Structure 1
């Protein structure tokens, strides 16, 4: 199954480290980051989950729920979480659930299985999951997908940056330029034309080309 941006995230029932969930019910009108890691008790994965624990409050402040997944059982996850918590003693303990997907049903549903790295397999030669990320909005639509190779740890501040861009774009008629960071200038959406530009953004619009118009972050202007 090939999932695309704009598709409704497939629903599923699964066991997690925080009990059984029905995914669509668990979303509960929130933004969600569903992300998979190849295996428990592995070096890169341990640093990633520790990094997420450190930035958990940043996701919460944006109204984002986190849920992990790998092809391990719940007992394995619960034991491994102890290692994660010890890695960063000053970080809060892992607070989000991890799906036990030993039969790879959810991983198959979301296209998370590795078909490239022939070393990223279990003892039976069955592929583990890659480092996949799905950002899902409150309407259960997939808004971002990223797949990393098993050898490369993710950059979670980048995922937060994309969420900031998506949430801002949902609220205002804007898009964000390359390398944008929250608070920096944004781009007036191409659909905004004529008198609507002034109505939405006032006089503070820098027109580089008719199709490229910068304006200050409207969320900052509103707060001022």
Structure 2
């Protein structure tokens, strides 16, 4: 059973952008000041955990891949059952993009394995492929701030459900996008895929994407690129405003 998380101090996150030294907490010390700041472009905290696919080290599991790490309030919950099934069905699309999926629910591995049978049945899956982390002690939920305000007050004191958190992590282990939903609202798998496409396009081409952008649509040249450099790099482009220039992806 997983009982200890590895977490990072605020100073190292800001100064070094590298995984921090191990610090061991007990369940009696869930203090807000001990939580890492999960800002965009910070290296995400590392941890060891038991999962439905065996014990993992989170950073080692991600390796050189992108990652989508998402939490669920509890096992055998209706919305989560539909979500995990939807992500599993889309796993081939995530694979094409070099993205590893991993879920978390604040119950144990045996409960997760029983729940997976329901997920497969409800969603018509032959096999559920990616791991689900066990987080009975809420150590990882604390590390990634996966609880709501009232739940945080009860950490270490009473049963607490996580909220629907999503973390999109790049191959350098940096947080690129995060979403937070209340337990009552299911997530949108298409949006997760869309923003991964946008991030990968931006990284590869040095562009930014407009609202509702989909793969194949025009992109925006960043204002930091001069007109002369834009012509050299992108060729033809359309100027709507001096700061708003569209080009082909």
TM superposition score normalised by structure 2: 0.82
Change (3 A) 1:126 1:30: same
Which of 145, 148, 171 lines up with 2:181 in the alignment?
A: 148
SS in 2 for 1:175: coil
Q: CA deviation at 1:27?
A: 1.1
- Report the Cα distance in structure 2 between the residues aligned to 1:129 and 1:65, rounded to whole angstroms: 21
Q: CA deviation at 1:53?
A: 1.1
Q: Deviations over 1:114-146 (max 9, x none)?
A: 22589xx99x74321100000000000000110
Q: What's 1:31 paired with? A: 66
Q: What's 1:62 paired with? A: 97
- Report the Cα distance in structure 2 between the residues aligned to 1:132 and 1:116, rounded to whole angstroms: 16
Q: CA deviation at 1:70?
A: 1.1
Q: What's 2:129 paired with? A: 95
1:130 paired to 2:168: no
Q: What's 1:221 paired with? A: none
Which of 161, 169, 185 lines up with 2:218 in the alignment?
A: 185
Q: CA deviation at 1:194?
A: 3.1
Q: What's 1:222 paired with? A: none
* Contact 1:173 1:192 survives alignment (8 Å): no
- Report the Cα distance in structure 2 between the residues aligned to 1:92 and 1:185, rounded to whole angstroms: 38
CA RMSD of aligned residues (A): 1.7
Q: What's 1:206 paired with? A: 238
* Contact 2:68 2:99 survives alignment (8 Å): yes
Equivalences, count: 212
* Contact 1:50 1:88 survives alignment (8 Å): yes
- Report the Cα distance in structure 1 between the residues aligned to 2:129 and 2:215, rounded to whole angstroms: 26
* Contact 2:48 2:58 survives alignment (8 Å): yes
Q: What's 1:85 paired with? A: 120
1:41 paired to 2:60: no
* Contact 1:41 1:80 survives alignment (8 Å): yes
